[in-house]
Structure 1
Amino acid sequence: MKITTVVGATLLATGALAAVPALAEGDPVAGKKVFSKCMACHDATAGKDKVGPTLVGVVGRTAGTLESYKSKYSANMKEAGEKGLVWDDANLTEYLRDPKAVIPKGKMAFPGLKDDEDLANVIAYLKADPKP
């Protein structure tokens, strides 16, 4: 009986751990809802700049280099790109959690997303070739 309990607990723990990577990858459908907080300033579907640059294709892009928005980036954002900041999952997570901590003199006034699940979901949405 004790062995069954240990095996059962191990299976339960293994099952719980198996679910963690899926959560870490994020849910693009849930991310679209989170992105609604960003839509006033950013587009992620049509490739058009708004107050902020379009986020179509942002994952993998070097910070401050989108040609259509280049003249509008803050000097701080351009400098970050020149120093090698690329918008990968880790950098997007850090930036979206607290933009001013990453780009202190950047133009983005958004205070950030504090929830890890929201962060993972919005990044999954941006990576999923969003549609309107």
Structure 2
Amino acid sequence: MKILRTAAVGFALMAGSAFADGHATGDAAEGEGVFSKCKACHGIVSADGDVIVKGGRTGPNLYGLHTRVAGGDEDFGRKYGDALVEAGENGLEWNEANFVSYVADPRAFLREYNDDKRARSKMSFKLGDETDAKNVWAYIVSVGPEVEAEDVTN
């Protein structure tokens, strides 16, 4: 089973560039390496339970993150911070632009998005390198469920 799972992830990464073209501008293969910084808190587990990346449980599962409402993973539930849940209630959905801005400085992003100088994020890690953030986004999208292409320049 492990060989099959490894082959599936490898195929997803090879196809990642073509697959991610419509909704990610980064390099999925590069993003896989950078994701090692994220897996201390986040895992990627498919809807049917296949573990793509074994990670910590401090943060939510990132499988299917593309277009997910912020703070909207019901399995993670009450562990989200109030400001992130509020952002989701105010329409924040994850796309490349929002993800890259958020991971650069989660607290600053939420303060601006919610127009609340006191907003806080439970995510203290910052991934300030834009290229790394775009690559991580491409990786997350490439190993997630198939999604319709979109214009990422918005």
Gaps in structure 1 of 5+ consecutive residues: 1-20
Q: Which residue of 1 aligns with 2:35?
A: 35
CA contact (8 A) 2:40 2:56 kept: no
2:122 to 74, 99, 107: 107
Structure 1: which 4+ aligned runs deviate by more than 4 Å? none
Gaps in structure 2 of 5+ consecutive residues: 1-20, 46-50, 111-118, 145-154
The structure with the largest helix share of the pair is 1
Q: Percent identity?
A: 42
1:16-44 residue CA offsets vs partner (Å, 9 max, x unmatched) = xxxxx9xx711111101111001110002
1:54-101 residue CA offsets vs partner (Å, 9 max, x unmatched) = 001111100001010111111111101000000011100100111111
2:85 is aligned with 1:71: no
Residue 34 to residue 125, structure 1, CA distance change in 2 (3 Å):
same
Aligned residues: 107
Kindly state the Cα deviation for residue 49 of structure 1 after the two structures are TM-superposed.
Answer: 6.9
Q: Which residue of 1 aligns with 2:130?
A: 116
1:125 to 139, 147, 152: 139
RMSD: 2.0
